[in-house]
Copies of this chain bind each other. A is one copy, B any other.
Amino acid sequence: MAEPLRISWPRLRDRLDTLGAVGATGDGGCARLALTDADREGRDLVVSWMRDLGLRVDVDRIGNVTGTWPADSTEPPVLTGSHIDTVRTGGIYDGNLGVLAGLEAVETIIASGVPLRRPVAVAFFTNEEGSRFAPDMFGSLVFVGGLALEEALDTVGVDGAVVGDELERIGYVGSLPVPGRPPAAFVELHIEQGPVLEAEGVDIGAVTGVQGISWQEVTVTGQSNHAGTTPMAHRHDPAFVAGSVAVFVRDLAGRMGPPQVATVGRIELHPNLVNVVPARATFTVDLRNTSEAALQEAEAELAAHLDALAEAEGVTVERRSLARFAPVAFDPAMVDRVERVATGHGRSVRRMPSGAGHDAQMLARVCPTAMVFTPSVDGISHNPAELTHDRDLEAGANVLLDVLLELVTADSVP
């Protein structure tokens, strides 16, 4: 029996650090918000690595980038990848690991000379994080036809920038049409971004699906007034409403129990002064659950609370959906494959849902899809302290490699 193929860990580590230095925040973290100059620099770097490997680099109309081997192939490839944009206070693994381990796996497969039954490709998708432009998983959503190109290009970001203009500006308006042609299969390696694997001492997560996501932006308009002279009974205070919602959703998640989570991550008051009852508050509510019914229940409870608050406080409330994705279940045969490969590597494995949204959940609409999770130290992510130990990164990349290798050499997929 031949020596099993293994990725080059020093090469992967080096690429993680090199890409992590682009947009580095000086505290171990990374800020490469989608379609900014830093994102362009990161894209250019990864594209240069794709070209160095001899991959054919394709860019589609929403800026998703795919590197395919062989360069002259025309059949649907087995695709891997993730994203390289980050949140404003991001770490260097979220997304980046999936792209660079994917590149590493492709390089290892090419170098091995193993005969391929179908092409292999690695992609990074535009604006997965959604920190600058909503919704998240933006590029993969457009790729699978879940968001029309025109609407996507017209999307205005939190800083007033427009997706189409920014794509043009950074030189990533490609020629491939969207929706794109479905790949033969999709496999994404990602850090867990939660505490479960580490807490249970498990090496690898075989991801069974992704919880549903509901993002709402709530704008409350009240009556701006003097903080010293306005009796409490006369107030119409949007900051109180924002605060009350932050407390309510914490309580709601507690009542519903895991896996329900609820977050008020953004609050903006206007005029935002110590001695003025604000005129307006804009804030976001992020609700997630693996059960669509439970997620709808959480949304309904929030809506009822907001209606009651608006009535009691004498304010108006506008709600805008920033993102709404139902829970996704991955292809059972693909999940089994991840579990079997990881077990074969001598790793402990846990089947688990993903708490975060991922490009894989979009790809799951058009092809057999799976994800591989590696443990996150202290469950920390979206934070400069985000960390996965080297041994876990290497183990995860080798599981990805063998899953891809099976898929590109098998008679049929999945």
Q: Flag if B276 contacts A265 (CB, 8 Å).
A: yes
Q: Is A322 an interface residue (CB 8 A)?
A: yes
The interface-forming segment of A61-69, A174-182, A222-230 is A222-230
How far is A266 from B269 in the complex, measured between Cα atoms in Å? 7
A194 touches B379 (CB 8 A): no
Q: What is the distance, in angstroms, from A3's C-beta to the closest C-beta of chain B?
A: 36
Cβ contact within 8 Å between B224 and A263: no
State the CA gap A50–B407 with chains docked (Å): 86
Stretch at the interface among A5-13, A35-43, A97-105, A231-239: A231-239
> A213: which B residues are within 8 A, CB to CB?
228
A244 to B251, CA, bound (A): 11
Whether A276 pairs with B243 at a CB distance below 8 angstroms is no
**A242 in contact (CB, < 8 A):** yes
Q: A32 within 8 Å of B by Cβ?
A: no
**Across the interface, do A224 and B261 meet the contact criterion of CB distance under 8 Å?**
no
Q: Name A174-215 residues within 8 Å CB distance of B.
A: 192-195, 211, 213, 215
Question: CB of A250 within 8 A of chain B?
Answer: yes
* Complex Cα gap A231–B345 (Å): 30
Q: For A250, what are the chain B residues with a Cβ–Cβ distance below 8 Å?
A: 232, 237, 240
A253-275 contact mask (Cβ, 8 Å, vs B): 1 or 0: 11000111111111111111111
Given A232-B262, A267-B242, also A215-B382 (CB < 8 A): no
Contact in complex: A129, B286 (CB < 8 Å): no
A382: B residues at CB distance < 8 A:
224-227, 273, 275-277
The answer to the question of A24 belonging to the interface, with a C-beta cut-off of 8 Å to chain B, is no
| A246 and B240 contact, Cβ closer than 8 Å, known pairs A228-B193, A271-B88 | yes
Residues of A participating in the B interface, judged by any CB pair closer than 8 Å:
87-89, 129-131, 134, 136, 192-195, 211, 213, 215, 217, 223-232, 234, 237, 239-240, 242-247, 250, 253-254, 258-279, 284, 286, 288, 322, 354-357, 376, 379-383
Question: Apart from A87-B273, A265-B277, A268-B272, what are 10 other A-B pairs with CB-CB below 8 Å?
Answer: A131-B275, A192-B229, A227-B286, A229-B355, A229-B379, A231-B258, A232-B262, A247-B247, A267-B272, A275-B286
